[in-house]
Structure 1
């Protein structure tokens, strides 16, 4: 498997922009709050599920070397280690 051609910073920037500008309004629903979204930052395709590994693997079956960015829908982070997740969506 080859390494994505984008830097980590570019993946993060594109992922946030895609989420905020074209995906957020479609996916931030009561049923999806707290779920994980993995986004291919080059195509805009995404998968939503309960597990980061599962959503990432589903995206990798479509494109093995996809540059992926993930987020917990409606929260400030995917996981909290030694801290607390804060809900940012209603």
Structure 2
């Protein structure tokens, strides 16, 4: 299997992905899907949603074998979060 190479700069990749999500996908998925992952092909505008990014991307790649995939978590600015998160003070 050939390794897929990115065809866009990181900035253009993100710009296209965010633009498609906010203009086309978000209005359709926002209600009732908080926390789910959306996989978007930044070239065709095709997308899939799932609780798991692998499942979403596999379904998207079945439809668009050369997809350039951008991931978004519904209701969040981040797909993943690293670190401890909020730190609570102990009294």
Q: CA RMSD in A?
A: 1.7
- Structure 1 portions without partners, runs of 5+: 85-90
Q: Quote how far apart the aligned CAs of 1:74 are.
A: 0.5
- TM-score under structure 2 normalisation? 0.81
The residue that corresponds to 2:82 in the other structure is 81
- Structure 2 portions without partners, runs of 5+: 86-91
Larger Rg over CA atoms: 2
The residue that corresponds to 1:43 in the other structure is 44
Aligned residues: 84
- Give the ranges of 4+ consecutive aligned residues of structure 1 lying more than 6 Å apart after TM superposition: none
Contact 1:37 1:55 in 2 (8 A): yes
- TM-score under structure 1 normalisation? 0.82
